[in-house]
Amino acid sequence: MTAVQSVERPTMECETQHFLMAQRQLDEIAQEMGLDPELHERLRYPKRSLIVTIPVRMDNGTVRSFTGYRVQHDVTLGPAKGGIRFHPEVNLGEVAALAMLMTWKCSLMGLPYGGAKGGIRCEPWNLSLGEQERLTRRYTSEIINLIGPDKDIPAPDMYTNEQTMAWIMDTYSINVGHTVPSVVTGKPVSIGGSFGRTEATGRGVAYCARRAVSHIGLKKESPTVVVQGFGNVGSITARLLHDTGYKIIAVSDVHSGLHNPKGIDIPRLQAYVSEMGKVKGFPHADEITNAELLGLECDVLVPAALGDQINDRTVNKLKCKIVVEGANGPTSPDADMKLHEGGILVVPDILANAGGVTVSYFEWVQGLMHLFWSEEEVNNRLEQIMGRACDQVFEMTVKTGLRPRMSALRIGVGRLAEAKRLLGLYP
């Protein structure tokens, strides 16, 4: 049995640099684990990709067209699952690459989902709330045939939040004629969301940071932490680590960074940011640039902002012992290799930030059961699943000598490949 030779095929529309990078990562692990070439071939491309044009009436009365995407990479293990992002850099290749990552993430965590991602190319910070609502509702209506509680379940991602999910739920429900809370996760608790979902990604990142610290045998009472990004993931991670006695010596947002070697008072900074909208001007720390922040000496570095932050240009500056990837794809493949060779432990995105989709899964389950759990129950279950996944990845790393990212991929890809092998190829 031989697989179709990829080289003989015309280029696919999604094959941007970003997508090819995700695909190369799969190719690398497929070779490493001796994956059946037919199964490998079937995992290399997204299953479904939809591009839509979204006309929106702007506040000034004009109509503007936006481009939106929804890509389902795989649906073997269950409905597709993944966030929706609003960002000017969104394109088909990026969404397809992130959908592929979601497949590996869900499989690694043992969730009964395939991977998806969606997005709208826009500058959300230049849109009023009303424009964002009309954009979200029309996008939902354009992708309505793809989504549904048994088909594909969106969630928040960059620059979307629980309000965005409420609009999607409402638009979907109106179109089908009855309320369907389980069409999205990450919605407000008052309309069927789960306790603990908003904090879940940061909670998982903080949990992984603590596990990584004990994995490398660091015996310090207050390990030092640098967090890049102070949005949902970065701020919650910083807060939870601060509360467990870690010293957060630097943080940043899109505008600027803060540094205080004695430790930043995170609860106070959170209060400042909720009032001012940015970290700049916080009185109890020095201002630094993002580039300086990445090069600070620390125990744990948490990139929780954009993708491609640790790359050829920045990797040599890093002076941390551990990187815990709060963002999706913050480290380029070459930089990942360099960090590993330099003895820096990288907890990869598909493990480190999987707390979000794990509690999304809990939200979906609770919604389908119409039975809701306490925050304590949600957090306990999250720790159980994160702990198991961390153990499996660290064990695989020790056993095989693979980088943690490759170990995580090997587990995720391996499980899915086994399912595909058992189900066979139709017809």
Q: Which stretch binds ligand GLU (CB under 6 A): 25-33, 241-249, 349-357, 378-386?
A: 349-357
- x/- track of binding to ligand GLU for residues 323-342 (CB under 6 A): -----x--------------
In the complex with ligand GLU, the residue whose CB is nearer, 223 or 229, is: 229
- How many residues touch ligand GLU under the rule CB under 6 A: the total is 12
Stretch that binds ligand GLU, among 32-40, 75-83, 138-146, 299-307 (CB under 6 A): 75-83
Query: Could you tell me which of 351, 357, 311, 366 has the C-alpha nearest to residue 211?
Result: 351
Q: In DSSP terms, which residues pair with 226 in a beta bridge? A: 250, 301
- Report the residue from 29, 155, 301, 323 that binds ligand GLU according to the rule CB under 6 A: 155
**With respect to ligand GLU, which residue has the nearer C-beta, 81 or 259?**
81
81 binds ligand GLU (CB under 6 A): yes
Is the Cβ of residue 95 or residue 264 nearer to ligand GLU in the bound state? 95
Radius of gyration (C-alpha) of the chain in whole angstroms: 21
Q: How far is the CB of 88 from ligand GLU (least distance, A)?
A: 18
Distance (Å, whole) CA 231 – CA 234: 5
Q: Determine the interface stretch with ligand GLU among 80-88, 127-135, 263-271, 283-291 (rule: CB under 6 A).
A: 80-88
Compute CA distances 366 → 218, 322, 356, whole Å. Answer: 38, 35, 15
User: How far is the C-alpha of 210 from the C-alpha of 240, rounded, in Å?
Assistant: 11
Among 236, 344, 357, 408, binds ligand GLU (CB under 6 A): 357
What minimum distance in Å lies between the beta carbon of 130 and ligand GLU? 24
Close Cβ partners of 302 (under 8 Å, ≥ 6 residues apart): 205, 209, 225, 226, 227, 228, 229, 234, 237, 238, 323, 324, 325, 326
Contact call for residue 157 and ligand GLU (CB under 6 A): yes
The residue number with the shortest CB distance to ligand GLU is: 83
Please, which residue, 118 or 257, has the CB nearer to ligand GLU?
Answer: 118
Strand order in the sheet with 63-72: 48-57, 63-72, 114-121, 80-86, 152-156
Catalytic residue among 105, 117, 187, 321: 117
The span from the CA of 165 to the CA of 63, in Å, is 24
257 or 330: whose CB is closer to ligand GLU? 330
| Residues linked to residue 71 through DSSP beta bridges, in sequence order | 49, 117
Reading the block at residue 44, the tokens are: 């290399």
The one among 46, 68, 79, 82 contacting ligand GLU by CB under 6 A: 82
Enumerate the β-bridge partners of residue 286.
259
Neighbours of 84 (CB within 10 A): 30
Instruction: Sketch the per residue contact string, 266 through 305, with ligand GLU: x for CB under 6 A, - otherwise.
Output: ----------------------------------------
Q: Which of 107, 185, 194, 407 binds ligand GLU (CB under 6 A)?
A: 185
Alpha helices in 262-374 (DSSP H): 266-276, 290-294, 333-341, 349-352, 355-369
Asked if 198 interacts with ligand GLU (CB under 6 A), we say no
Tell me if residue 117 is catalytic.
yes
Supply the minimum distance, in Å, between the C-beta of residue 202 and ligand GLU.
12
Instruction: Judge whether 290 and 251 are in contact, CB under 8 Å.
Output: no
269 contact partners, CB below 8 Å, separation of at least 6: 230, 238, 251, 258, 279, 282
Question: To the nearest whole angstrom, how small is the minimum distance from the Cβ of residue 390 to ligand GLU?
Answer: 16
Q: Does residue number 194 form part of the binding site for ligand GLU (CB under 6 A)?
A: no
Tokens 């995992």 locate to 43
Closer by beta carbon to ligand GLU, 205 or else 298: 205
Identify whether the C-beta of residue 138 lies closer than 8 Å to the C-beta of residue 122: no
Residue 203 in contact with ligand GLU, rule: CB under 6 A: no
CB of 9 to ligand GLU, least distance (A): 29
Catalytic residues: 117
Contact residues for ligand GLU, defined by CB under 6 A? 81-83, 155, 157, 185-186, 328, 353, 356-357, 360
